[in-house]
Amino acid sequence: MLYIILAIVSGLSIILSRILNANLAIKIGMYQSTFMNYVWGLLTSIILLLFMQSGFNVTKGIPFWAYLGGMMGVIVVTLSSYITHRISNFNLTLLIFVSQSVTAAIIDFLLGSTISTSKIIGGVAIIIGLTVNIIIDHNDPAMEKTV
Amino acid sequence: MNNLIAAIIGFIVAFMVLVNGILTGYTDLYMSSIIIHIVGLVCITIVIIVGKHKIKNLKAVPLFLYAGGILGVSNVVLSNLCFTELGVSLTLALGQVGQFLASAVIDHYGLLGLKKIPFNKKKIWGLLIVSIGIIIMMFE
C-alpha cells in the first residue's frame, strides 16, 4: 500500500514541479526559472548521491548523444513554464501523455520491436475519449480562453 | 497553438526518457541525475548569456517557488523506489493517475494561482474511455 501511495505521489510531484516553475517564471522570467530549476535540481542530486553513498559509478564509453537528455530537459521545463498558464492543466497533462505514448510506440517500432495489439487498441480508445472531451470543451464557455 | 506546444513537450519527453535511461545504464540513478542536471545547467546558462537575460529579484520571491527543481528530482527517486516493488507498468500507471488527479483538482479549485476551470460533468464519459485505454495499454 505504501508503494502505491508513493507512486501516485511521484505523479503529483511532476504536476507541482511544473506549476511552481511556471509561477517562478512569472516572477523572475522564463529562462531564469529554468536556470533555478537546474541549480536546485543539481544540489538535490548531489545531496542524494552523498546520502545514498552510491559513489561515482560511471562506466567508460558513454556515447555523446546519451548526454543530450539534459538539453532536452531544459526545452521541456522552459516550454512547460510557458504553456502552464495558457491551457487547462488537465488537458496539458493529457496531451503530454498521449503525445509521449505515441512517440514512444513509434520509437519502439523503429528500433525493431513490434507494437502490441493491446497498445494499438488502448491508443485508439485514448484518442476517441480525448476527441469526445475536446468537442465538449469547445462547447463549454468556461474553456473559451484556455483551449 | 497551445495544444501543439503541449504535444511537442510530450514528443521531446519520449526521447528524453529513452536517452536518460541509456545514460542511467552506463552510470546509476543518482550519478545520471547529476550528469543530466550539469548538462541542463550548462545549456540554460548559455541561453541566458547569449540572450543577455538578467537574473534578478531572486530574493523577492517566496522560497517555496524554488521547490520545482527539488520536486523534479524527487519524482525520479520515488518512481525508482516503486519500480522494484510494483514493477514498471504499475508504477507508471499509478504515477499517471496521480498526475491526472492532481491536475483535475488544481483546475477545479483554481489552486496555485492557476485559472479556475470547474470540472464539466459531461467529460466523465470521455475520461472513462481514456482511462480504459490507458489500462489496456499499460497492462498487456
Number of domains in chain A: 1
Return d(Cα A147, Cα A2) in angstroms, integer.
37
Q: Which of A38, A78, A122 sits opposite B41 (nearest CB)?
A: A38
pLDDT above 90 as % of chain A: 55
What per-residue confidence (pLDDT) applies to A147?
A: 43
Is A105 part of a structural domain of the chain?
yes
DSSP H stretches of helix in chain B: 2-26, 29-50, 67-86, 88-109, 124-138
Is A29 part of a structural domain of the chain?
no
- What's the mean pLDDT in A126-147? 73
Return d(Cα B136, Cα A123) in angstroms, integer.
9
- What's the mean pLDDT in A113-140? 82
Q: Which of A9, A63, A130 sits opposite B130 (nearest CB)?
A: A130
Tell me the average pLDDT of chain B.
90
Higher pLDDT, A141 or A48: A48
DSSP SS3 for B140: coil
User: Is the pLDDT at B107 greater than 50, yes or no?
Assistant: yes
Smallest Cα distance from A139 to chain B, Å: 11
A114-123, B42-51, B71-80, B102-111: segment of lowest average pLDDT: A114-123
Is A138 part of a structural domain of the chain?
yes
Q: Do A70 and B78 touch (CB under 8 A)?
A: no
Q: Which of B35, B54, B104 sits opposite A67 (nearest CB)?
A: B35
A11-25, A112-126, B25-39, B41-55: segment of lowest average pLDDT: A112-126
What per-residue confidence (pLDDT) applies to B59?
A: 85
Return d(Cα B101, Cα B105) in angstroms, integer.
6
Residue A124's Cβ-side half-sphere holds a number of Cα atoms within 13 Å equal to: 5
Cβ B68 vs Cβ A14: under 8 Å? no
Q: Do B37 and A80 touch (CB under 8 A)?
A: no
Task: Please list every residue in chain B whose beta carbon sits closer than 8 Å to the beta carbon of residue A123.
Answer: 133, 137
Q: Which of A34, A128, A132 sits opposite B44 (nearest CB)?
A: A34
CB contact B33 to A (< 8 Å): yes
Q: Do A35 and B114 touch (CB under 8 A)?
A: no
ipTM of the complex: 0.90
Place of cell 538578467: B54
User: Is the pLDDT at A144 greater than 60, yes or no?
Assistant: no
Return d(Cα B67, Cα A111) in angstroms, integer.
37
What per-residue confidence (pLDDT) applies to A135?
A: 84
Confidence tier at A142 by pLDDT (50, 70, 90): low
Cβ B57 vs Cβ B41: under 8 Å? no
Q: Do B44 and A38 touch (CB under 8 A)?
A: yes
Is A7 part of a structural domain of the chain?
no
For residue B57, with 0-12 CB atoms within 10 Å meaning exposed, 13-18 middle and 19 or more buried, which class applies?
exposed
C-alpha cell at B13: 519527453
Q: Which amino acid is residue B82, in one-letter code?
A: C
Q: Do B73 and A45 touch (CB under 8 A)?
A: yes
Place of cell 553513498: A53
Is A44 part of a structural domain of the chain?
no
Q: Is B112 left (phi over 0), alpha (psi -120 to 50) or beta?
A: left
C-alpha cell at B120: 464539466
Q: How many CB pairs under 8 A join A and B?
A: 385
Q: Minimal Cα distance from B39: which residue of A?
A: A70
CB contact B50 to A (< 8 Å): no
Give the alpha-carbon dihedral of B28, B90, A112, B8, to 10 degrees.
-80
Cβ B99 vs Cβ A15: under 8 Å? yes
C-alpha cell at B53: 537575460
The domain of A142 spans 87-147
pLDDT above 70 as % of chain A: 95
The domain ranges of chain B are 1-55, 61-140
Is A79 part of a structural domain of the chain?
no
Q: Do A124 and B133 touch (CB under 8 A)?
A: yes
CB contact B112 to A (< 8 Å): yes
pLDDT above 70 as % of chain B: 99
- What's the mean pLDDT in A112-138? 83
Q: Is A60 left (phi over 0), alpha (psi -120 to 50) or beta?
A: beta
Confidence tier at B86 by pLDDT (50, 70, 90): confident
User: Is the pLDDT at A115 greater than 70, yes or no?
Assistant: yes
Q: Which range has the top average pLDDT, A16-20, A114-118, B130-134?
A: A16-20
Is A63 part of a structural domain of the chain?
no
